[in-house]
């Protein structure tokens, strides 16, 4: 059986995405129903970038599945400098059941997966943030009933990993995904083409525009992200000006559907990319979204172990029953 990895939003087919989200809902309702890492087995969690939600959600999720998280902070390993990524993968596959990595270059994750006999999970790279999108889609399903046919508007830096993942995961979930940002900060053509390809299979749609009103018109979901990610602090003033027309505030929400919900992956800067009255208002589902990192990632880990042939018989029985 081929080992399954989760490096980008398109590493799950539409049907597999539905399975993972269904399993996430099951584990949210019954948190200890599946002990896929009982033993306890160990999961390696590498951080090249600092983190709050990713760190806690993976550590708590691994523990809830019966396993032991081994968290490696920035500067604490020889990964990628004193020891090659390939050699690290060959060593770790003999010691751990999962490798989770929050890093910079996406190519490092691809190299890790190429040489790993256990699932590798992208906990964020410069190009994609697929675990965040599992949480976001789970949140949309909880609040709007379904992702299929729903429209999602993303405003702000549309050339970052969150915009890429919204395009790909949203299209994979059958959504009408609208991405709005200024010229020079829009998704790469290859990302747009890949999203349109997946949308053709699911009945979704993709729009990339510089006009925030075009993206927002009647949208069911409104999302944004920080305008100043790690490593961009020196560009702060320039970026505040550049993205000023793409703020999610009351005026923006007035253009969305009356029952629209608001997403933000956090950390949020009130008064910058999103106003306080919106993120703290009745349409915000941001705190459910944050909690759902835990449930979505638990489901992903259990599902990957089963699909890779690395789970015990009881875990496989429970997972397949939950997603049937």
Contact 132, 286 (CB under 8 A): no
Contact 273, 287 (CB under 8 A): no
Q: Considering only CA atoms, which of 238, 263, 235 is closest in space to residue 248? A: 263
In sequence order, the 6+-apart residues with CB closer than 8 A to the CB of 321 are none
Residue 53 annotated in ligand binding? yes
Residue 161 annotated in ligand binding? yes
Residue 230 annotated in ligand binding? yes
Q: Which of 132, 220, 239, 297 is catalytic?
A: 132
- Alpha-carbon distance of 144 to 53, in angstroms, equals 24
Q: Which of 35, 129, 150, 242 is catalytic?
A: 129
Q: Which of 4, 26, 102, 178 is catalytic?
A: 102
- CB atoms closer than 10 angstroms to residue 157: 25
Biggest alpha carbon distance in the chain? 56
- Alpha-carbon distance of 63 to 319, in angstroms, equals 18
Residue 130 annotated in ligand binding? yes
Residue 239 is among the residues annotated as catalytic for this protein: no
Residue 284 annotated in ligand binding? no
Residue 137 annotated in ligand binding? no
Residue 78 annotated in ligand binding? yes
Residue 255 is among the residues annotated as catalytic for this protein: no
Residue 127 is among the residues annotated as catalytic for this protein: no
- CB atoms closer than 10 angstroms to residue 40: 15
Residue 30 annotated in ligand binding? no
Q: Which of 4, 9, 265, 295 is catalytic?
A: 265
- Alpha-carbon distance of 209 to 218, in angstroms, equals 15
Residue 210 annotated in ligand binding? no
Residue 308 annotated in ligand binding? no
- Alpha-carbon distance of 96 to 305, in angstroms, equals 12
Residue 225 is among the residues annotated as catalytic for this protein: yes
**Strand runs labelled E in the chain:** 42-47, 68-72, 98-102, 120-122, 151-155, 176-180, 205-209, 221-224, 261-264
- Alpha-carbon distance of 117 to 273, in angstroms, equals 41
Residue 297 annotated in ligand binding? no
- Lookup: tokens for 46: 């590498």
- Look up tokens 């915000």; give the residue: 284
Residue 132 annotated in ligand binding? yes
Residue 115 is among the residues annotated as catalytic for this protein: no
Instruction: Report the first-to-last Cα separation within the chain, whole angstroms.
Output: 21
Q: Which of 5, 178, 293, 295 is catalytic?
A: 293
Q: Which of 225, 239, 242, 247 is catalytic?
A: 225
Exposure of 258 in the CB half-sphere (CA atoms within 13 A): 0
Residue 54 annotated in ligand binding? yes
Residue 293 is among the residues annotated as catalytic for this protein: yes
List the binding residues.
Answer: 51-54, 78, 102, 129-132, 161, 225, 229-230, 265-266, 293
List the binding residues for carbamoyl phosphate.
Answer: 51-54, 78, 102, 129-132, 265-266, 293
Catalytic positions are: 102, 129, 132, 225, 265, 293
List the binding residues for L-ornithine.
Answer: 161, 225, 229-230
């Amino acid at each position: 059986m081929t080992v399954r990895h989760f490096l980008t939003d398109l590493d799950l087919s539409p049907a597999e995405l539905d399975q993972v989200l269904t399993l996430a809902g099951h584990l949210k309702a019954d948190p200890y129903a599946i002990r896929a890492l009982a033993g306890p087995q160990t999961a390696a969690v590498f951080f090249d970038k600092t983190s709050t939600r990713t760190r806690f959600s993976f550590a708590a999720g691994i523990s809830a599945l019966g396993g032991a998280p081994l968290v490696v902070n920035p500067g604490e390993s020889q990964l990628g400098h004193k020891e090659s990524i390939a050699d690290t993968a060959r060593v770790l596959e003999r010691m751990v059941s999962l490798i989770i990595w929050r890093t910079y270059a996406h190519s490092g994750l691809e190299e890790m997966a190429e040489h790993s006999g256990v699932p590798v999970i992208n906990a964020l790279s410069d190009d994609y943030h697929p675990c965040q999108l599992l949480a976001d889609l789970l949140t949309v399903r909880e609040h709007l009933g379904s992702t299929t046919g729903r429209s999602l508007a993303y405003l702000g830096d549309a050339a970052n990993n969150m915009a890429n993942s919204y395009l790909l995961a949203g299209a994979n979930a059958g959504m009408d995904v609208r991405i709005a940002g200024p010229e020079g900060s829009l998704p790469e053509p290859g990302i747009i083409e890949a999203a349109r390809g997946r949308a053709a299979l699911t009945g979704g749609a993709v729009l990339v525009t510089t006009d925030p009103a075009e993206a927002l018109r009647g949208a069911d979901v409104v999302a944004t992200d920080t305008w100043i990610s790690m490593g961009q602090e020196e560009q702060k003033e320039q970026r505040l000006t550049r993205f000023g027309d793409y703020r999610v505030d009351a005026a923006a929400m007035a253009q969305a559907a009356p029952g629209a919900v608001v997403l933000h992956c956090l950390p949020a800067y009130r008064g910058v990319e999103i106003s306080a009255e919106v993120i703290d208002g009745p349409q915000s589902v941001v705190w459910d979204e944050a909690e759902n990192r835990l449930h979505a990632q638990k489901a992903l880990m259990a599902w990957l172990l089963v699909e890779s042939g690395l789970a015990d018989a009881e875990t496989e029985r429970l997972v397949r029953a939950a997603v049937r």
